Amino acid sequence: MHIHNMALFFLFWCSLFCFAVDAFSISSLVSKELYDSIFLHNDDTACPAKNFYTYESFIQASRCFPLFGNTGNLATRKREIAAFLAQISHETTGGWPTAPDGPYAWGLCFKEEVSPQSDYCDSTNKQWPCYPGKSYKGRGPIQLSWNYNYGPAGKALGFDGLKNPEIVSNSSLIAFKTALWFWMTEQKPKPSCHSVMVGRYYPTKKDLVANRTAGFGLVTNIINGGLECGIPTDGRVADRIGYFQRYASIFNVDTGPNLDCQYQKPY
């Protein structure tokens, strides 16, 4: 069974049962104490997501994706977890350059996009049609956006993402599940973030021409390359890297090469 098919199988299994199977837990690598040391300020009064992104929800959601943080050797497993936490930290950051404990201690501060510029409805997408009056703005750790993401995420995880997108910012568990769903799911021509971080990304000819080399920078390209990649010294890319470097240090693992995407063509 190919790795992508295996991931789909476990997603289906998760949507039906999602048992708390200890064998699939990453709690052995991410204790509550470590989680709290990473997200020093996510429960501060200043953060709108105070008490939302709980350690328990993160661990429970991760059990639905048994390949996450459980693929490859120990260093690869730690690096993937650090990369995931870094990306969701940037997406939800409440930090600023002179913030207490530094800008990279303020991940998971927001649970939904502030002042969205649109309702993120792609009306040309007929497979996942928008529901009248609903906004598909960024919500949850990965800031899930657009109807073409809410629809398939809901289908995979067992909720109606088109009619009830608000559940992503109302349920801590579902919020983390959507972030991990996005991380683990291939959306061609994009590979999954997971496959990139565990060394199972195989670039096509188009990827090679576009300089889409494996590394943390490619994950940024997958998540928001259209706005951030192919731009020299983009501040948002630098913020993602800053989080990753901090978390990699906490996990005592190297970051690997190709941290930025400034010379990569977006998908």
CA 175/CA 157 separation, integer angstroms: 11
Candidate list 91, 112, 113, 228, residue with the active-site label: 91
91: annotated active-site residue: yes
- Catalogue the active-site residues: 91
